[in-house]
Structure 1
Amino acid sequence: MDTIVYAIPVFMVMIVIEIVTTIIRKKDYYRLNDAINSLSAGMMSITSGIILKIVEVTIYTGIFSAVALMEFDSSELWVWLFAFVIYDFFYYWTHRMGHEVNILWAAHAVHHQSEEYNLTTALRQTSSRFILGWLFYIPMAIIGIPPLVFFTVGLINLLYQFWVHTRHIPKLGWYEHYFVTPSNHRVHHAKNRKYLDKNYGGVFIIWDRMFGTFQEEDEQYESIRYGTLKPLRSWNPVWANLHLYSDMWKDAKATKSWKEKLTLWFRKTGYRPADVAAPMKMPDIHGYQNYDPALSTSQQLYAGVQFFILLLGTTALMAVYHTTPTWFDALWIIVLGANLVMNGSILEKPEQAIKLECLRFSITASALAVTATLMPVASIFWLGLGSLAVLSLAYLRRYSSATEPTAAIES
């Protein structure tokens, strides 16, 4: 069973605690649509990782086996501590380059697209990290950090970063000088000019202090605005992963220079060929309205229930994928992804709910029919489909007779 399966319930409980705290403190740190979109991106990341993480495992293990200068003894505690520290060092540079290079930003931007900052933002992860994300960790394989140690400390590093995605925890005194905290990570997610491209550390903030990228949160400064300078303005988790790649591809086709076609991918983030577009100017982030299409309470409840059922389905897949055929895993990765995309579409265009839900149920039912022989695994999805059908048809019957209007509202 994948370790992440054990972490998911813990994450969800902590998110519920944060939501309750937000309500008690009368803050506006959560929006249902934004939170669902962040979690949908995270769910697509972990399910696609069932197949795609093989790339990173194969590359690291292959390099370690072929060219490692020595092999550290994984039974020694100091090896684990050493690996933990240097992993974070290389994470710093991976993360920093993810903000400074076009193609790397196209992958990492997914994590920054949320216009809110809460624990769901931590789970908003890219699905395309496998393309080049492994590149910066090659030195660890060469010096001889065993794969088990490497992937374990990497998981610990990732899990640590979950709790720092909150606005409820203030500065933590001396701890701020050495470790990544909610305060200095809020700076990292801010799109205010003063805070742009700062605080890249995963566990240790010392790398930022050493390499000149540290910025303290200034509580007297203007309020932090979250998100990306070029906003996503969509609840589609697939488009969240692809839209910057699409933009670069369009620029590569549009420019007349072959040099630009080949190099724009590796230029500084935001670079566009001169014969395609003028350099981007800093937008007015404070005059900008967050993306928040209005939904009625019943529409929000419906989308929330559908998402919860998809969360259960995702958790079930993560729990059993190592016991099922690759084709089964691939099929349900696609089906769950399609469900998440269409649920996101309902959050944007509820007037299309009936058409989208009919399509969604047809796709899911077809997949269930194909995998029904793999009982009892398929029974989990049959249960999910039954719940979806009962809830959806009851809602859609009411919805089809009286569609409530939608409008954009200011966040």
Structure 2
Amino acid sequence: MKNDIGPYRIYVLLVVAGLISAEIIWSWKKDKGAYHVKETVSNLAVFAGFQFSKYLFAGYQLSMLVFFAGLAPFRLPQSGWVFLLTFITADFIYYWFHRASHLWKPLWAFHMVHHSAMRMNLTAAYRLNWFSALVSPLFFIPAALLGMPPDFIVISYSLNLAYQFLLHTEAVGRLGSVEKVMDTPSSHRVHHGSNPIYIDKNFGGVLIIWDRLFGTYQPETEKVVYGLTTGFLSHNPFMLVLQGFIDWFKPAGSKSPIVTSPPLLDISPEK
């Protein structure tokens, strides 16, 4: 098994590196300023910590789902139709998990790091909290109790996150009728906007139909201003990951030590 997985991971990393390189070239040629040296390095540092955390918490995540699957009154067979059902169910659960992560402060503590990026590019997709694996399995317990195979749940959630990597870019414009059903880069740019019209919109992972059904859909109508509403946070990966928890435990009324954002247009690589 290890011999099969190893090359697969290398191929995935090569594809990811190729897409990021292509986006950097596009940004440079079009003078889009989508990349900034310090922010990109911090994105990759956060990603490295997240990759380590995946190995650290993998056993906990799977054992949690296996335990509750054992409590299910019935078990669905491992078939193509069941996988499709599991994938759609996982996407529906992800919508509510993501929405709750914006509206409930304890969950926002985990999610804040992802929205702290001041620029939208493929490396920003990897600003993921190192401890998010502690809470994410809890939201997928209902799928396990409905008899869906735990490995199908894990694969569905992994594919959901993998798809979202492609959404973090300004290189792709509007996609017409596709945006009525699927989450797209345009819809996800809206989600990352700190513009008042964009806050708490477009929570979908793969499908955008949940946002349309539950009143959280917003099309991209004005230039997106990225980052937290409080401005620039830090380039320190530990600060990025931990600041949400620090803010969570602060006494009511105390101010966050978030500094003022640098000028948004000053996004050239530092000399």
Common fold, TM-score beyond 0.5?
yes
**What residue in structure 2 maps to residue 29 of structure 1?**
34
Asked whether the equivalents of residues 36 and 267 of structure 2 are also in contact (C-alpha less than 8 Å), the reply is no
Q: How far off is 1:185 after superposition?
A: 0.6
**1:85–1:32 distance in 2 versus 1, CA, 3 Å:** same
- Cα offset for 1:53? 2.6
Amino acid at match of 1:8: L
Q: 2:17 aligns with which of 12, 18, 32?
A: 12
- 2:183–2:205: 8 Å Cα contact kept in structure 1? yes
In the alignment, the residues of structure 2 paired with residue 63 and residue 169 of structure 1 have an alpha-carbon distance, to the nearest angstrom, of 40
Aligned to 1:247: 247
* Contact 1:160–1:203 (Cα < 8 Å) also in 2: yes
User: Which one-letter code corresponds to 1:69 in the other structure?
Assistant: P
Matched, 1:84 2:58: no
Do the aligned residues in 1 keep the contact of 2:35 with 2:267 (CA within 8 Å)? no
Structure 1, unpaired ranges of 5+: 252-272, 298-411
Paired residue for 2:55, among 47, 50, 54?
50
- Report the alpha carbon displacement of residue 111 of structure 1 after superposing the two structures with TM: 1.0
How far is 1:69 from its partner? 2.1
The aligned runs of 1:141-220 (5 Å cut-off) are 141-218=144-221
Q: Aligned residues: percent identity? A: 33
Deviation at 1:120, TM superposition (A): 0.7
Q: How many residues align?
A: 263
Task: Give 2:263's match in structure 1, choosing from 289, 299, 306.
Answer: 289
- Cα distance, 1:49 vs. partner? 1.6
Q: Secondary structure at the match of 1:161?
A: helix
Shift of 1:296: 5.8
Cα RMSD of the aligned pairs, angstroms, is 2.3
Task: Please identify, of 56-65 and 199-208, the stretch whose mean Cα deviation from structure 2 is larger.
Answer: 56-65
Tell me how far apart the structure 1 counterparts of residues 154 and 139 of structure 2 sit (CA, whole Å). Answer: 14
CA distance in 2, matches of 1:296, 1:119: 20
1:247-288 C-alpha deviation (Å, 9 max, x unpaired): 22232xxxxxxxxxxxxxxxxxxxxx3xx359x9xxxx9x96
Aligned to 1:392: none
Aligned equivalent of 2:66: 61
Are the aligned partners of 1:33 and 1:292 in contact in 2 as well (CA < 8 Å)?
Answer: no
- Separation (CA, whole Å) in 2 of partners of 1:200 and 1:293: 27
Residue type of the alignment partner of 2:62? V
Distance between the aligned counterparts of 1:293 and 1:234, measured in 2? 15
In 2: Cα distance, 1:35 partner to 1:228 partner = 17
* AA partner of residue 7 (structure 1): V
When Rg is computed on C-alpha atoms for both structures, the one with the higher figure is 1
Report the CA distance between 1:294 and its aligned residue. Answer: 9.4
- Report 1 or 2 for greater relative contact order, CA contacts < 8 Å, sequence distance ≥ 6: 2
How far did residue 118 of structure 1 move? 0.6
What are the equivalent positions in structure 2 for 1:73-112 lying under 5 Å apart? 73-74=77-78, 76-112=79-115
After superposing the two structures, state which structure 1 stretch, 18-27 or 139-148, moved more.
18-27
With normalisation by structure 1, the TM-score equals 0.60
Inter-CA distance 237–58: structure 2 relative to 1 (3 Å threshold) = same
Q: Which moved more, 1:183-192 or 1:47-56?
A: 47-56
- Please state how far the C-alpha of 1:21 moved relative to its aligned partner: 1.2
Deviations 1:49-73 (A, max 9, x none): 21123221121111112x1121111
